[in-house]
Chains A and B, each alone.
Chain A
Amino acid sequence: MKVVSMSKVKSLTKKSGAASRVKKVNSSGVGTAVADALIIGAGFAGLGSAIRLRQQGVHNVVILERGTEVGGTWRDNTYPGAACDIPSNLYSYSFAQNPDWSRSFSGSGEILAYIHGLVEQFDLLPLIRFQQNVSAIAFDENDGVWHVQTTQGETHVARSVIMASGPLSNASFPNMPGIEKYQGHKIHSAKWDHSYDFTGKKVAVIGTGASAIQIIPELVKQAESVKVFQRTAGWVLPRPDFVTPDWNKSLFRKMPAAQTAMRNALYWGHEAMALGIIWNTPLTNVVEQVAKAHLHGQVRDPWLRRQLTPHFRIGCKRVLISNDYYPALQQPNCKLITWPIATLCEKGIRCAEGIEHQFDCIVFATGFDVCKSGTPFPVTGLNGRELGEEWKRGSQAYKSASVSGYPNLFFTFGPNSGPGHNSALVYMESQIDYAVKGIRTILDDNLKVLDVRPEAQQRFNRQIQKRLAKTNWNSGCKSWYLTEDGFNATMFPGFATQFASQMKAFLSVDYRIVTA
C-alpha cells in the first residue's frame, strides 16, 4: 500500500479543509483523526446523505469520490438524449426543490447542474475527497471503526460508513461472443465518446432499454444508417414532456408551497401506477392497453408492431417512457433487427439469419453491471467475514440499509430498495434519513458497535421475499432485477409510502449494541 506523504496530506487539507477531521493513516496504522461518518460516492445519494447528516448536527463527515467531479450516474451518462424518465419535480430532493426546471422531464445536463447546485447551496465541496477510489473496507471491532482503503493508497478511518456508490455506477462492454474481434469503433452508453462524429456513419445500437431508446432518436438524426438490435421488446408508455412556461417557474419561485403541491400530486400519481406495475391487477391491463395504444398509434406496419410487442406483463422489466423512439425506428435510415446475435466479427455483427451486418461504430446500450450479488469491493465485517461471499447467491439486508455482521455500515440503494414506479430520490430520502438516525444513535450513545441482529434480518427477508413472490417482477421474465437464479435482491415490493413507513422507525431493539 502506498504511504501518504505529509505534503500530500497538507495539500489535501488546504484544498478541502476536511483532513483535520479525518484520520488518514499509513500502513503502520499511525493516524490522528476519525470521521464520524464516511460516505462512499458523491452522486445523488452521497451528497444527500452529507446534507442530511449536517442538518442533524453531524459535521465530521468525509465523502470519498473516485472521479474528479460530483454527479455519479448523471456525470457519467452524457450520451445524446440522456434524460430522466421521472418528472423533474419529483426527481429532486424534497429539501432542495428547484423551481427552474426547464422541462417536465429534464435532460442529464440540467440534472447534473442541479447536483452541482446542491454542492454549492449546502457548501459540500470541503467534505469531498476527489480521486479516491475505494478498494476495500474493513471493520475494526476493538476500536469500533471502519478502515477504508483507496486504490490511491490512502486509508481513512470512520465510526460509520454510508455506502452511496450507486447501483448504476459501473458499466462495461458485455461479454458477447466475438467482441474482441470487432475492429470498428465501440462506444458504451455510460461512457459516451463525444469526440466521435456519427455523420455519414453506419451505426449499430445493441440494446433497447432505457438508455437505448433515448440514444436512438438522436443518432438517427445524424448517422447515415442505424440498425437497432433488440433481444426483448419493452413496454413503452408515452412521455408527457413539455417546456415549463416562465409563469410556472415564477410561481414556484414565489410560492414554494405550489411546487410542493405539484410534487405531491406527481408522487401520488406515481403511487397509483404501482397498482398496475408492481402487482398483476385489473389496472395492469389498463396500463398495458395504454402502452399498446401508444404502439398502435405510432407504428403502422403490423410486423414491426409485432416485433415491438412485449411478451411479458408490464412491470416485469423496467417500463420505458418515450415519444420519439417508435417514430425514430421508422425513419428510412433506421431498421430494427430482432434476429438473435450469433457473434461479433471484424466488421460488424453476424446474426442467426446468416447475414453479416457491417458497421463503422457499435453503440452498446447494454446497461450497467448491477451488483445483485457480491459487492463492488471487499467489505470485511466482524470476525473477518466477507460480505461478497455472503451475498454470492444474492444480496440481502435489514430494511435495505443494514447487514448483520457489518456494524455501523449503512447502504443507500441496498438490497430490495429499488422502485419500479416512483422516483428513486423519494426512496433515497428515506434511506438517507434512516442512515442518519443510525449514525446519530452511534454518536449520541457513544456506541462502538451497532449491528443488526441476524434474526431480525432473517425475519425481514422472509417477509420481503414472500411479498416479492406476488409481484410482476417475479412473474417469470428475465430482467436485471433478478439474479441468474431468479432471486430478487433489487426491488421493494410495495408503494413508496410503505417503504418510507418501513424506514421511518429506527428500531434499536433489532440491533445489537456495544458501547465504547
Chain B
Amino acid sequence: MASIDLEKMLAKIKNSQWALADIDWEAPGAELITEEQWPKLKAFMSDLMWIEHVGARGFAALAKVAPDDTLREIYTYFHAEEQRHANAEMALMRRWGMLEGDEIPEPNINLRLVIEWLDKYSDDMPLETLGSVIPMLEIALDGALCKFLLDTVKDPVCHQAFEKINDDESRHLGVGFTVLEMQGHGELYKLAIKAAGTLMRPTLILGILSYLPLLNKMRDNIVEMGLPEESLYKVMKKFETIGGRTAEGRRNPWYQIISRHGRVMIDRTNYFYHVPVDAMVKASSYIPKRMLPPIPTWVKELTWNPVA
C-alpha cells in the first residue's frame, strides 16, 4: 500500500501556505504575452480558473463526508487552496489586461450547470465518488493544462505563481490517490454493489449529465488552443498507472469507471460516446440563461485582489 501519513501531510500543508501578496503582480514580464496569444490565453485561463473553482467546491463537499477530523481538515485546506489557485489565475488575467475592475470571467453554460449541480447535490455524494473523480481532474490539470501553459507563456510571474500552484497540486494528488486506495478496502462484491447503487441515484445521474458535456467542451477548447492531444493521453495513462498501482486502488470500482471513461473521453474516434455527448453540448447551448437560478454566493468569494 502506497498510502501517505495523513497527519504528517496535514502538518506539511499548514507549513506550506502562501498568499497572493507573496507575488509581485506588477513585476515586468506581462509584455511577453503576444497579441496573437492573448485571445486564446484569455479563454484558456478562464476555463482553467473555473476548473480550479469547481474543484474547490468539490473539496468542500468532500470535507462534509470525510470520515475523520484529519481528512476533514485536509479537505478544508484543499478547498481554500483551489480557491487560491483560482484567485491567482484571476490575478494573472488581470495582469495581462484580461479583466476590468471587479469583473470575473463569465462561466459558460456547461460550467453553470455543473456549478448548479455542485451547489445542490455534491454535499450528498459519497466519499468514494467525488474522492475518485477529483484525482483524475487534478492530474489532468497538473499534467496537461498547467504544463501546456508554462510551455507557451514566457511571463516569469506566471511561472512563479504556477510553481506554487504545482506544489499544492502535488499534495492534493498525494492525498487524492491515498483516498482512492482507501476506498478499495473491503470485499469487491460489496464495493461493486455500493457503486452500482450510487450510480442509480438520480442526483448522480444529473451530475453525470452536466459533467460529460463540460468535459467534452473543455477538451475541444483546449485542443483548439494548441494543447497536443498526446498530453491528454499521457495524463490519462498516468491516472491509470498511479491509481492502479495497488490492489486496493484497482478494487475501487470508481477507479475502474473513471479510468475507462477517461480513455473514451480523449479518444475522438469513439463515435458511440462522442456523438451523443456532443449533442448534449449543443443542446445545452440552447438553454436560456434566464432559466438558470442565480449564481450561488460561494462563486462571489472569488477575487484577484491580494488584499481585502
Contact = CB atoms under 8 A, between A and B. Distances in A.
B119 interface: yes
Given A352-B77, A354-B306, A342 B17 contact: yes
B83 A339 contact: yes
A351 B81 CA distance: 10
Nearest to A335: B308
Interface of B is mostly: helix
A304 interface: yes
A356 B72 contact: no
Contact of A354 (B19, B76, B296, B297): B19
Nearest to B120: A302
Interface string A350-373: 111111111000000000000000
Nearest to A357: B308
Nearest to B84: A354
Interface in A299-335: 301-304, 306, 311
B121 to A, nearest CB: 12
Contact of B123 (A301, A304, A306): A306
B119 A353 contact: no
B261 to A, nearest CB: 29
Q: How large is the interface on A (under 10, 10 to 19, 20 to 34, 35 or more residues)?
A: 20 to 34
Interface in A457-516: 476-478
B297 A304 contact: yes
Contacts of B189: none
A354 B20 contact: yes
A117 interface: no
Contacts, number: 68
A340 B301 contact: no
Interface string A155-185: 0000000000000000000000000000000
A472 to B, nearest CB: 15
B180 interface: no
Interface in A2-16: none
A355 B307 CA distance: 6
A57 to B, nearest CB: 52
Interface string A118-156: 000000000000000000000000000000000000000
A26 interface: no
A302 B72 contact: no
Contacts of B81: 352-353
B64 A353 contact: no
A340 B308 contact: no
Interface size class of B (residues with CB under 8 A): 20 to 34
Most B CB within 10 A of own CB, among A306, A354, A356, A357: A354
Contact of A340 (B76, B297, B303): B76
Contacts of A302: 119, 296-297
Nearest to A354: B84
A306 B20 CA distance: 27
Contacts of B20: 354-356
A357 B19 CA distance: 11
A131 B130 CA distance: 60
Nearest to A301: B297
A356 B21 CA distance: 7
A303 B80 contact: no
B88 interface: yes
Contacts of B296: 302-303
B87 A356 contact: no
B34 to A, nearest CB: 28
Interface in B237-279: none
Interface string A281-310: 000000000000000000001111010000
B306 to A, nearest CB: 6
Contacts of A476: 68-69
A102 interface: no
B83 A354 contact: yes
A353 B84 CA distance: 4
Contacts of A375: none
What are the 3 A-B residue pairs with the smallest beta carbon separation, nearest first? A354-B84, A352-B80, A342-B17
Given A343-B17, A358-B308, 13 more contacts: A301-B297, A302-B119, A303-B296, A304-B297, A339-B80, A340-B76, A350-B21, A351-B80, A352-B84, A353-B301, A355-B20, A355-B307, A356-B306
6 contacts: A301-B297, A304-B297, A342-B14, A354-B20, A355-B307, A356-B307
Interface of A: 301-304, 306, 311, 339-340, 342-343, 350-358, 476-478
